[in-house]
Chain A
Amino acid sequence: MRAPIGIRISSRRKVLAISQAELARRAGISASYLNLIEANKRQVGGTLLRRIAKELDIDVGELTGESEHRLIHELEEAFADPVLAGVGLEAGAARALVATNPLLASAFVRLYRAYTAATANADAYAYRLRTDPLLSQLLHQVLSGITAVRSSAEILEEVADLGEDERRRFTGSIGRETRGLTAVARNLIGQFETASEGGRSALPRRELDDLIFANDNYFQGLEDAAGAIRAEIEAVGPFGEATLIDLLASRHDVTVHKGRIDGDEAGAYPAQYRYARETRTLWFQNTTTLATRQFQLTRLYCELSNPLAIASAIESPILTSPAARRLAQRALSSYFAGAVVFTYDDFLAAAEALRYDIDALRERYSASYEQVAHRLVTLRRPRAQGVPFGFLRSDPAGRLTKHFPLPGLLLPSTGHACPLWAIYGAFRSPESIMRQVVCFSDGSRYLFIARAITKRVAGFADQSLPVSVMLACDVLHADRTVYGAGLDLADRRADVPVGPACRLCTRAECTSRQEEALAPVSA
């Protein structure tokens, strides 16, 4: 359904009124080669595509159709919202709108994002009003004050034979109560101001997604900086916990502490690790795994050694709020650390050699399942790409807490995914891999690899919240992975028929449906 790259290049070129020869010259290729590209007779990608995109003043994503694809996904999600039920949007409406009027489609998506953020805000307010003890206390004070004022005022108005003493008493009451109300009102306004600042949590997550997407989950600047840091570490000793601790102490005056914290810092809230900026102390719980320690030591070393690398990676107009930048800062410092622990070329070679066996990679890099899965998703360097994976993480309540999209695969950006997905099945057998070949109603097929992981606890009262992490790859690439082994990938009979999420799913006959499908549903 998508227009091929060649046609996009040629139509964009015509819009800008640049001749084929001119564009070829600027891109540094021959006119006849460009002609072949525009006729879709030659593949184009990598540096050349970026050069062409630059000359055409357009994002690479727009030329490859990825931006469009994502737009369609978001639009489909929007069209499936209950608020549009009964409007009569047909299946394919999103696709049609993106094809005929991409600007309008973008505008619609932007409005829908604003709408969902606003709805989330309203819910947060309503919840706050119902449950916030301070607000209910303030409300009580307001009602009491008004009751007293109203009652006293009525006495002053309606009782004709009021004595001077009584008149003074009730006037005094009104004065006192209204002064009290003024203070309450100020307090209340203060409450709402703080509430509205904290309430904009729906958007930062989306903005971070956009940033990751715009970079195809590959940040060259961070990869370069990571290479330098890795070399710096290895100049001192072998990469690992011991060398990192030495370097943090000698270069950044950071002390690493393991075990119980005494005194003020011994919070009731248990965590795997914590960094106290004021005392430059990195603390680990005794039971923390080597993988966690190595990763967090690396992250801290990266943040302290090259803060500019992260700062410049998040320097983007996509991130519009401090909250979004904080979120991106955190996500990209993880990326940075991942790039140091798993250096790109080495990791790609190992992944290919080990056929993407996540546990074998963990063993090789002393890393956790999630760290490896995360790094696999970032193997997107032009001309040195690994198997394209999508990534999803779910909490035990089924809510998706992290996701990296995979072109073609519709991953819901919020809420729940299809209950049949392995990401949920994995919770039933924690710490073991669950693989699944799924088929969507449009016929596309994916290999899902999921595992539920638990964190170590420091006591009976310490809650270990398991998360399930899932990688998804197109069945076409499944034979490059160890997880395709033994599966007859050509045999569709064992495919699990799934959808993206009940609301967005067109399988009317599905017995696992938990929620009605909403428009648009094909007839």
Chain B
Amino acid sequence: MKSFPEEETGTEGDIVAIDVLIAEDEPSILEALDFILRRAGWSIGSVTDGEAVVEAVRRQRPRMLLLDVMLPKRSGFEVLKQIRATQDLKDLPVLVLTAKGQAQDRRIAEELRADAFVTKPYANAEVVSTVRRLLGDQVAKGG
């Protein structure tokens, strides 16, 4: 598991860091994800297309990214590749949402060093526990 650099999780004046940034274009899925993750106690931000992700990551400083593969404008893979290639973002923990039966998607995500996968359709508990796992040591460290 990758750890997010300390200085970036710290407080930098007026920037309000969030716990999880969700990149998902289906409104109903996004609504449900937002609800269950908030309910689990995390602060949430969201974007609905691939182009907005990197900018939102820089602005909202999430502790992790929940990234859908099939996003409009730029695919989740392109976004992940860019994040991994960007010096100050490359260690951001990323949970990729892939579709069932798309083994190829999973292989690509692995090559691009995704930290975890959840396959659609998922059980809410699965998403919550995976997010908890990715944030886990952060929670412990950050207190």
Contacts and interface: CB of A to CB of B under 8 A. Distances in A.
A143 B32 contact: no
Given A147-B120, A154-B123, A166-B35, A173 B28 contact: yes
A140 B124 CA distance: 19
Contacts of B32: 148, 151-152, 155, 170, 173
A144 interface: yes
Interface residues of B, number: 19
Interface in B95-143: 99-101, 120-125
A176 interface: yes
Contacts of A169: 31
Contacts of B125: 154
A273 to B, nearest CB: 43
A150 interface: yes
A144 B35 contact: no
A159 B37 CA distance: 13
B73 interface: no
A149 B122 CA distance: 10
B15 interface: no
Interface in A146-185: 146-152, 154-155, 158-159, 166, 169-170, 173, 176-177
Contacts of A149: 28
A136 B22 CA distance: 24
Contact of A148 (B29, B36, B39, B100): B29
A170 B124 CA distance: 14
A143 B121 CA distance: 6
Given A144-B29, A177-B28, A150 B35 contact: no
B88 interface: no
A158 B28 CA distance: 18
Interface range for A: 20 to 34
Contacts of A151: 28-29, 32-33, 36, 121-122, 124
Contact of B70 (A140, A146, A152): A140
A157 to B, nearest CB: 10
B41 to A, nearest CB: 14
A147 B70 contact: no
B50 to A, nearest CB: 15
A184 to B, nearest CB: 13
B26 interface: yes
A143 B99 contact: yes
B75 to A, nearest CB: 12
A138 to B, nearest CB: 12
19 contacts: A139-B101, A140-B70, A140-B99, A147-B26, A147-B122, A148-B28, A148-B29, A149-B28, A151-B32, A151-B33, A151-B121, A151-B124, A152-B32, A154-B123, A154-B124, A155-B32, A159-B39, A170-B31, A173-B28
Given A150-B123, A152-B28, 5 more contacts: A148-B29, A150-B122, A155-B36, A170-B35, A173-B32
Interface of B: 26, 28-29, 31-33, 35-36, 39, 70, 99-101, 120-125
9 closest Cβ pairs, A-B complex: A148-B28, A151-B32, A147-B121, A147-B120, A173-B28, A146-B121, A154-B124, A143-B99, A148-B29
